[in-house]
């Protein structure tokens, strides 16, 4: 791939109270298995820095620091990388979650990958008839539990907007049961719910570290499926609260086991995925199929319970060995989906970060990331 400019520098918005210019941006050097910030004043020059290294720098900064922002050039370049293509001629060749999947048009999107090597569909706008899916799941009596955690300041900042937007776009026409897990039940906003929609508030402990909140949700979801959800709903979807529904998120997303392509990784080569590389962790992976985002996952209640049980087991075994996976529950989720292939994958339309900017392959934003306030929220 041709590089548009021979000089790529990181642009820093701010580091605490100090403003930094482009000339202050760090360079990187190879140490062991990874790239690390260098104290050298060598220029960030494409003569010595290949395109793969540029992407490594992009991932390092995006995942490691809340202060650094990449220039739009990088996001544009990543958008030019090619995805694999679906080799199936017809959706009838898929391993079907349900018969309506046979109506998917796998050849309607030549710009993206529409199926996996294990014959599961990857759902993109333009592949499906929404009315067909709505009608079929109504006939089958599908019902959905939505779980979301709003602990500490996340309650006041995000929950009301999340729930209100869900009422406009999430699984309309199907029975939906919201399960809100919070340490302050008295602060849950009073949301007007539509027909066949209910909300249950469950009090949970507020942990000191946000990482512990993130990881412990696996056990809490599993326990709630066992005690309540399995008696009420056919499917479960688990969401992070700092998101907003902006378009249809309908029954086309329902399946036995549902994973989501991470918006920052879906066009990157596999060797740049940030799997846990520590052999001591139960989340350890040498390679994988895709990089999945833990902000959204779902499936039938049986499949979600199996996933959350397995992730929780891995988390606790790591804890006993004084190990913590690189990206916490997301690392364990990726390991689970590597060993137990999802029967359905959602495209990044189903959880998009608008900071990425324009991508020709993203036709709609169904769910978007809300503005992140990690500095304050994760310390309050």
> Which positions are catalytic?
330
Q: How far apart are CA 187 and CA 189, in angstroms?
A: 6
Q: What is the 3-state secondary structure (H, E, C) of 246-285?
A: CCCECHHHCCCEEEEECCCCCCCCHHHCCCECCCCCCCEC
CA atoms within 13 A on the CB side of 364: 15
169: nearest Cα among 367, 353, 347, 344: 367
Cβ proximity of 325 and 360 under 8 Å:
no
Phi-psi region of 78 (alpha: psi -120 to 50; beta: other; left: phi over 0): alpha
Q: How far apart are CA 252 and CA 298, in angstroms?
A: 12
Structure letter (DSSP) for residue 148: E
Chain CA centroid to CA 243, Å = 11
């Amino acid at each position: 791939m041709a590089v548009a400019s021979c000089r790529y520098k990181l642009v820093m918005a701010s580091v605490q109270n100090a403003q930094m210019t482009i000339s202050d941006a760090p360079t990187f050097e190879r140490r062991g298995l990874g790239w690390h910030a260098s104290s050298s004043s060598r220029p960030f020059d494409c003569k010595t820095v290949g395109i793969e290294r540029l992407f490594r720098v992009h991932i390092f900064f995006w995942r490691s620091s809340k202060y650094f922002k990449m220039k739009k050039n990088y996001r544009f370049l990543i958008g030019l990388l090619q995805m694999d293509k679906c080799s199936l001629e017809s959706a009838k060749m898929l391993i079907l979650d349900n018969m309506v999947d046979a109506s998917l048009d796998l050849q309607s999107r030549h710009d993206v990958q529409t199926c996996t090597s294990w014959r599961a569909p990857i759902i993109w706008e333009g592949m499906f008839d929404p009315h067909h899916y709505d009608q079929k799941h109504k006939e089958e009596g599908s019902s959905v539990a939505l779980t979301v955690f709003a602990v500490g300041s996340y309650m006041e900042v995000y929950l009301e907007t999340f729930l209100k937007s869900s009422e406009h776009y999430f699984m309309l026409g199907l029975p939906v049961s919201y399960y809100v897990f919070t340490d302050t039940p008295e602060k849950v906003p009073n949301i007007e719910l539509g027909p066949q929609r209910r909300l249950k508030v469950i009090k949970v402990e507020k942990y000191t570290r946000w990482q512990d909140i993130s990881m412990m949700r696996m056990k809490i979801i599993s326990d709630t499926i066992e005690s309540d959800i399995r008696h009420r709903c056919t499917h479960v979807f688990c969401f992070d609260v700092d998101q907003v529904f902006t378009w249809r998120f309908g029954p086309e997303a329902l399946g036995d086991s549902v994973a989501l392509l991470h918006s920052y990784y879906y066009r990157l080569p596999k060797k740049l995925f940030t799997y846990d590389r520590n052999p001591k962790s139960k989340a350890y992976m040498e390679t994988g199929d895709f990089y999945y985002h833990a902000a959204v996952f779902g499936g039938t209640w049986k499949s979600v319970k199996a996933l959350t049980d397995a992730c929780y087991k891995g988390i606790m075994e790591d804890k006993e060995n004084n190990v913590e996976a690189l990206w916490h529950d997301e690392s364990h989720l990726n390991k689970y989906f590597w060993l137990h292939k999802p029967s359905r994958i959602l495209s990044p339309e189903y959880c998009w970060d608008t900071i990425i900017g324009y991508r020709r392959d993203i036709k709609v934003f169904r769910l978007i990331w809300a503005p992140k306030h990690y500095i304050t929220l994760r310390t309050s």
